Amino acid sequence: MGLTISSLFQQLFGKKQMRILMVGLDAAGKTTILYKLKLGEIVTTIPTIGFNVETVEYKNISFTVWDVGGQDKIRPLWRHYFQNTQGLIFVVDSNDRERIGEAREELQRMLSEDELREAIILIFANKQDLPNAMNAAEITDKLGLHSLRNRNWYIQAACATSGDGLYEDMSESDMKKFDVCIVGSCNVDLISYVDRTPKIGETIEGKKFEKGFGGKGANQCVQAAKLGGKVAMIGKLGNDIFGKEYLESLKQLGINTDHVSITDEAATGVAPIIVDKDGV
């Protein structure tokens, strides 16, 4: 079951003070994820000795995210951070097959602690960009997640360096409701769920799939809508001003925007746009 950082926050929404603990083996990508969420940028990291703590803003609520070092000598100290933790993010290096058993042991050990009994568990299967990375289903099996009882757990395939899987709040089954799904804000190709990704310039079912003009995802959305596609846009639009411009562009094309919604700003400070299946 997929869960992004923003929907994890929604699970915790309504609590006055929110504390999220992020742990995992060393070199899993925890600190890279933290600062990608905080700054929207890739930062140069060194092994964390101790912890990093940052505040991530979402819907005018501040979430304190603790990123604790994962080296074997530091792991016994994790328990000192368990108290009052409402969300636990466990980061896994999907490419590290040799240590996935070790990751399982550490996760299972933590989940046996009373202080984490009510915590929502999110596993980030990080480094999905690497060619030999295990997918989310394989990691679910390797970590023994299906054996967990009375726990709210979720796993999300992710790539910390690109941000894939950290922000998008749409499952693959949701995406398949659309002809076209565009992920990201610039220099990305149209992705079709007809049965495969079309090549640029290829015509499928009477629709010609082209790269958007101007290099902006919103332009690609308009281009796809022009071609008669039902479109979903997920990605960085800067702010709601751009979202409104996008809606205006659709209206000028004579496209029904009754089912178009601009979400509230996500944890990254950007606002995804979703065009409903029946809205185009």
Catalytic residues, which ones? 71
Neighbours of 238 (CB within 10 A): 14
- Contact by Cβ (8 Å): 233, 273: yes
Which residue positions form the known binding site for Mg(2+)?
31, 48
Cα 92 to Cα 97: distance, rounded to the nearest angstrom: 10
CA dist 170 and 261 (Å) reads 14
Name the one residue in this structure whose structure tokens are 């065009």: 275
Give the residue ranges of the annotated binding site: 24-31, 48, 70, 126-129
Distance between start and end Cα atoms, the chain: 28
How far is the C-alpha of 80 from the C-alpha of 99, rounded, in Å?
24
CA–CA dist 21, 130 (Å, integer): 26
Alpha carbons 158 and 123: distance in angstroms, whole number: 10
Question: Which residues does the annotation place in the binding site for GTP?
Answer: 24-31, 70, 126-129
Residue 268, exposed/middle/buried by CB under 10 A (0-12, 13-18, 19+)? buried
Q: Name the DSSP class of 198.
A: P
CA–CA separation, 202 and 218 (whole Å): 21
Q: Which residues of 215-235 are buried (b: 16+ CB within 10 A; e: fewer)?
A: ebbbbbbbbbbebebbbbbbb
Is there a contact between 28 and 240 (Cβ–Cβ < 8 Å)? no
